[in-house]
Chain A
């Protein structure tokens, strides 16, 4: 598949020359600092997320869309799209997810709902790559149903006393601080939660590693974050008292579009790599790429990738210009997750026996992308949201 013309077509009108330049520099940087080390990191079982974030921060590539007064770059979400796509192209989502959680899940809540104390204590150092941010929402009894969290924040003078347990925290083992969603003791419903920033070294905090997972094997996933009477000052609260869930849900919508951009970039790269592989690999005397069936399989998926990518860009544009993004966010999260999984499955198959090796990038991508339909809103949640928005 020769897709250079399609890539140009996909980006036409959406990106500025400055963003194209950013893409070139980011790609160069990640190709030099991340790509060559992937195998070694995989063998070791961890990625140096701190170094990766520091490296990005040093070049001004963290928090590009946040205000300069908050330590950001004063740019737009389109720059975050470029970063998301460059991360996706790595086909190494331990890094992709790790950076996304930090830069596009927790940092936005700090930037948009954090008071001056939280910004100084967490956001500014985070955008410099010095404070690693983790996101602690899921619980044993609350996954997709975010509102059902049992972790409780009991108000007391000057702050809250936080008790409970969170689980499945990407980069939780290396995070310096967590955004924790907790319920208030008496309150019920949508306005009975608070979102609190909790330093990993605060008294009463314990982080435990997770059991082995299908993918994201080097993402430093924490299996448990135990919170045992942890004191959190009012200044570390994001959003109002009782508005934790609202603040959280508001962050999910745009983040899902950015995550979709990362997922689609993974699908894009997988298709390109597989086409390349099929041109090289010969069976019965001809390159597999010359056979119609696999070529048609890839072309079908390519058409979907390009279409879903346009939906993602449409969503980003709506977000940047202040429009409603709830429908497009749910739609593109659903489509990109399912599509990228389908692409990974097909590409794994087309790589034959070689693709079965755990060390093969397509194998890793197959395992990593399986999470897309579960994390930050499962496919079923997206369908529920879309159905509700449809009336």
Chain B
């Protein structure tokens, strides 16, 4: 018989061009060891259904394990390696505790810490503290009357005693705010007190003049807060008036890619659970999965999940190269959110009454997915950005 694959065909193959290079086995092993160790404790799903999930304890543990530090590149460091490690971290965390602890971790590393890391006026010690897991910050941009439209800012910059600045206003749906030591507050500098007029980004310690209440939302249980700022003292101007929004617009490309990475893996995890469940459960005398409709539904979702994973991989490559267009990040974020919502909804349906139970992986994912279609840029805003390219 003629060999099916003669040497002449094999000889034409070259090295992989996949975004994901050689697997960082050492780092992945450490992450696995961490999640295994804390699976039934810090990372247990139940702990993250309460109004006070162990966010600070988790960040401290992850920090002490060195996982944040090693997924971080300082200026001039190996950016690509660090990014892929961060992605590995978010993927692993999407698969434990119904993915809930991963939300807090992503906010910590990819939102506040990442922003502080790129801003030149960040006080020394803040980023090292965040990477050690001993402190955390939260980005406070969204306001009750201004979500996607951040130009409609009502929070304002004022003058404090001894020549300092203050901020006054209300923020809400601020991820990790209940646990934050510092807030990165977007505020309108109407008088140019930061040097220029316009939206400024200010570092505000969680202390006097800052009141945080945990919001009771559909998903992200215990993880988001409302922030009342009453002449809260500003510790540092991170971006002067007019530059605050620009800084955020650049930052959001990064955040959206990382969100897409996490959502793709969360969808994969929920789907894996649904497949296993459908193989286990029996209806009308046969396993649920023997029904063609069930098999086809799961197969269709499997294709969707593969698609958003592939998209996330390319997005990471572009991000590492500093060449990810805003429209691309928006496409990846929107698509991953859409697939996650679809997978969660179908998985809940296939699990029947059990899926409707609070704390079921699909139930939790469905609740979180509704917020993920809003957070980090709403679906509608993403579509506009895709349109712009």
Q: Which residues of A does B touch, CB under 8 Å?
A: 1-6, 8-10, 12-14, 65-67, 69-70, 74-78, 111-115, 238-241, 243, 247, 250, 295-296, 298-300, 302-304, 306-308, 310-311, 313-314, 317-318, 320-322, 327-328, 330-332, 334-335, 380, 382-387, 390-391
B282 in the interface, Cβ–Cβ < 8 Å?
no
B304 in the interface, Cβ–Cβ < 8 Å?
yes
B386 in the interface, Cβ–Cβ < 8 Å?
yes
Distance in angstroms from A122 CB to nearest chain B CB is 14
Give chain B residues whose Cβ lies under 8 Å from the Cβ of A238.
2
Q: A12-B318, A243-B1, A322-B10 are in contact. Are A6 and B327 (CB under 8 A)?
A: yes
- Chain A residue nearest to B271 (CB atoms) is A390
Distance in angstroms from A378 CB to nearest chain B CB is 12
Task: Identify which of A298, A322, A331 contacts B307 (C-beta below 8 A).
Answer: A331
Can you give 11 A-B contacts (C-beta < 8 A)? A1-B386, A6-B325, A296-B383, A300-B383, A303-B332, A307-B307, A307-B310, A322-B13, A331-B307, A332-B306, A380-B296
The 0/1 profile, CB within 8 Å of A marked 1, for residues 297-309 of chain B is: 0111011101110
Interface centre among B308, B324, B386 (most CB of A within 10 A): B386
**3 closest Cβ pairs, A-B complex:** A67-B8, A240-B1, A386-B299
Stretch at the interface among B14-22, B154-162, B216-224: B14-22
The 0/1 profile, CB within 8 Å of A marked 1, for residues 361-389 of chain B is: 00000000000000000001011101111
Are B16 and A383 in contact, with the CB atoms below 8 A? no
Give chain A residues whose Cβ lies under 8 Å from the Cβ of B310.
307, 310-311, 313-314
Distance in angstroms from A335 CB to nearest chain B CB is 5
Chain B interface residue count: which class?
A: 35 or more
Are B331 and A12 in contact, with the CB atoms below 8 A? no
Task: Identify which of B1, B9, B304, B331 contacts A239 (C-beta below 8 A).
Answer: B1
Give chain A residues whose Cβ lies under 8 Å from the Cβ of B317.
12-13
Task: Identify which of B5, B11, B14, B331 contacts A306 (C-beta below 8 A).
Answer: B331
Q: A5-B327, A12-B318, A335-B304 are in contact. Are A303 and B18 (CB under 8 A)?
A: no
Give chain B residues whose Cβ lies under 8 Å from the Cβ of A307.
307-308, 310-311, 331-332, 335
Distance in angstroms from B113 CB to nearest chain A CB is 26
Are A295 and B303 in contact, with the CB atoms below 8 A? no
Interface centre among B303, B318, B330, B387 (most CB of A within 10 A): B303
Give chain B residues whose Cβ lies under 8 Å from the Cβ of A390.
275, 298-299, 302
Could you tell me the distance between the alpha carbons of A382 and B299 in the complex, rounded to whole angstroms? 9
Give chain B residues whose Cβ lies under 8 Å from the Cβ of A74.
12
Task: Identify which of B6, B18, B313, B328 contacts A5 (C-beta below 8 A).
Answer: B328
Q: A299-B386, A306-B331 are in contact. Are A387 and B298 (CB under 8 A)?
A: yes
Distance in angstroms from B80 CB to nearest chain A CB is 11
Could you tell me the distance between the alpha carbons of A10 and B324 in the complex, rounded to whole angstroms? 10
Could you tell me the distance between the alpha carbons of A322 and B383 in the complex, rounded to whole angstroms? 37
Q: A6-B389, A67-B8, A383-B295 are in contact. Are A317 and B332 (CB under 8 A)?
A: no
- Chain A residue nearest to B299 (CB atoms) is A386
Q: A65-B12, A317-B17 are in contact. Are A387 and B306 (CB under 8 A)?
A: no
Distance in angstroms from A72 CB to nearest chain B CB is 8
Are A331 and B306 in contact, with the CB atoms below 8 A? yes
B124 in the interface, Cβ–Cβ < 8 Å?
no
Are B16 and A299 in contact, with the CB atoms below 8 A? no
Could you tell me the distance between the alpha carbons of A300 and B324 in the complex, rounded to whole angstroms? 19
Q: A239-B1, A335-B304, A387-B296 are in contact. Are A112 and B6 (CB under 8 A)?
A: yes
Could you tell me the distance between the alpha carbons of A384 and B317 in the complex, rounded to whole angstroms? 33
Give chain A residues whose Cβ lies under 8 Å from the Cβ of B8.
66-67, 69-70, 111
Task: Identify which of A10, A13, A330 contacts B17 (C-beta below 8 A).
Answer: A13
